[in-house]
């Protein structure tokens, strides 16, 4: 929901269009995944780069309604292909800290940014949830048996993080 160029009403219009697209694709072909730049409009005490208070006024209720009604999703699990789709990735450490099993309901508070044990200002620690974690920490602490497709950190080419049938990372 953040933009350094768009006005809050433009962001609201884009959001409404995305929700309309999701509504048209009721059979699961279109998903809206929560990211860190949505989260700080939902957890209003949080503030990350790009936060605009006028956007918060426009988007808070829309985002909370979408979360409560499962329009805005935490992650998608494709069990057939053993693949998880999320904004940034899910680690064993985060699951352990929050006593989270895949498919459980997600507490928004569990997604707040943390410096974790690494004290990394960019979220590069396995304690961070699936809107913050960075590829290095995800790679070192990924869930066994799943590939993960993420989009949080900009890369020059797609990177698939997962493990083979022997749970060796690739």
Cβ neighbours, 10 Å, residue 152: 20
pLDDT of the residue at 48: 78
The CA distance from 105 to 136, in Å, is 26
* pLDDT given at position 162: 63
Length of the chain equals 170
Helix (H, G, I), strand (E, B) or coil at 26: coil
pLDDT at 164: 63
pLDDT at 31: 93
End-to-end CA distance of the chain: 32
Give the residue ranges of DSSP H helices in 2-84.
8-24, 36-42, 53-68
Q: What does the pLDDT profile of the chain (170 residues) look like in tens digits?
A: 877 788 999 999 999 999 999 998 877 789 999 999 899 899 988 787 788 888 899 999 999 999 999 999 999 999 999 999 999 999 999 999 999 999 999 999 999 999 888 888 888 999 999 999 998 899 899 999 998 999 887 777 776 666 666 655 55
Is the pTM value of this prediction over 0.85?
yes
């Amino acid at each position: 929901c953040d933009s350094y160029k768009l006005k809050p009403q433009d962001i609201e219009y884009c959001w409404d269009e995305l929700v309309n697209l999701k509504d048209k694709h009721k059979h699961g072909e279109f998903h809206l995944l929560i990211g860190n730049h949505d989260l700080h409009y939902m957890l209003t005490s949080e503030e990350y780069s790009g936060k605009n208070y006028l956007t918060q006024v426009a988007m808070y209720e829309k985002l909370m309604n979408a979360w409560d009604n499962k329009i805005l999703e935490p992650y998608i699990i494709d069990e057939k292909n053993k693949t998880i789709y999320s904004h940034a990735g899910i680690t064993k450490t985060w699951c352990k800290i929050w006593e989270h099993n895949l498919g459980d309901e997600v507490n928004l508070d569990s997604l707040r940014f943390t410096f974790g044990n690494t004290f990394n200002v960019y979220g590069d620690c396995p304690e961070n949830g699936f809107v913050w974690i960075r590829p290095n920490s995800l790679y070192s602490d990924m869930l066994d048996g799943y590939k993960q497709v993420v989009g949080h950190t900009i890369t020059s080419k797609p990177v698939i993080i997962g493990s083979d049938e022997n749970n060796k990372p690739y």
